[in-house]
Amino acid sequence: MRMPNFEFVHLDRPGDEKKHSTKIRRHVMKDIGLSRRKPKKRGETTVARVTPRAAAAAAAAGPSSSGQAQSGQTLLPLPNPTDDCRLSGVIFPIRMTEERRSLSEFVFAEAKAHYFPFRTPWLPLGLSDEAAWYITMAYAVVFKYGNAGSLKSGYRAIDEAERFYTLSIQSISTRLKDPKQRRNEGLISAITGFVCHDNSIGNFYRQDIHLDGLRILIEEIGGINKITNDVLRLMISWYDLTSASYRNSRPYFAVPSGSIIEIDTDTRYFELLLDNGCPHLDGIQDALKATAGVARYVNRRCQKPGFWKEDIVAAQLLAPALHAVLSLEDCVLPSNPHHTSFSGIIARETFKRGALVFLALVKAKFNGTVFELSQHLNAFRRLASIPQVNWDLARELNLWAHTIVALEEGGNRRDCYISVIVGIMNNAHYTSSKQVLDVVRGIIWIEDIFGNKVESLCHEIDSLLASSRRIPLRPTPRMDPLPVYPITPESREPSVESCRSL
The closest alpha carbon to 359, from 340, 376, 344, belongs to 376
Q: What is the DSSP letter of 12?
A: T
Interatomic CA distance for residues 474 and 413, integer angstroms = 34
> Residue 263 in contact with residue 293, Cβ under 8 Å?
yes
> Residue 78 in contact with residue 123, Cβ under 8 Å?
yes
Mean pLDDT value across residues 22-38: 53
pLDDT of the residue at 497:
42
Higher pLDDT among residues 71 and 246, named by residue: 246
pLDDT beyond 80 at 492: no
Residues in the chain, total: 502
Confidence class for position 94, pLDDT limits 50, 70, 90: confident
pLDDT beyond 70 at 472: no
Tell me what percent of the residues of the chain surpass a pLDDT of 90.
46
Residue-range domain boundaries for the chain: 55-236, 268-469
Higher pLDDT among residues 333 and 141, named by residue: 333
pLDDT beyond 90 at 440: yes
pLDDT beyond 70 at 282: yes
pLDDT beyond 70 at 103: yes
pLDDT of the residue at 220:
93
pLDDT of the residue at 327:
95
pLDDT beyond 70 at 102: yes
pLDDT of the residue at 261:
80
Q: Whole-number mean pLDDT of the chain?
A: 78
pLDDT of the residue at 29:
54
Least confident of 22-26, 158-162, 419-423, 466-470: 22-26
- Give the type of residue at 483: P
Least confident of 88-102, 154-168, 279-293, 445-459: 154-168
pLDDT beyond 90 at 33: no
Least confident of 42-46, 55-59, 215-219: 42-46
Tell me what percent of the residues of the chain surpass a pLDDT of 70.
71
Mean pLDDT value across residues 111-125: 84
Interatomic CA distance for residues 401 and 30, integer angstroms = 73
pLDDT tens by residue, 176-200:
998 888 888 889 999 999 998 888 7
> Dihedral, CA atoms, 407, 413, 415, 420, nearest 10 degrees?
-70
Higher pLDDT among residues 16 and 394, named by residue: 394
Interatomic CA distance for residues 235 and 237, integer angstroms = 5
Interatomic CA distance for residues 166 and 141, integer angstroms = 14
> Residue 351 in contact with residue 397, Cβ under 8 Å?
yes
Burial 82-107 (b: 16+ CB within 10 A, else e): eeebebebbebbbeeeeebeebbbbb
Higher pLDDT among residues 82 and 319, named by residue: 319
pLDDT of the residue at 290:
93
Mean pLDDT value across residues 354-365: 97
Least confident of 110-124, 205-219, 318-332, 377-391: 110-124
Interatomic CA distance for residues 274 and 408, integer angstroms = 25
Mean pLDDT value across residues 356-364: 98
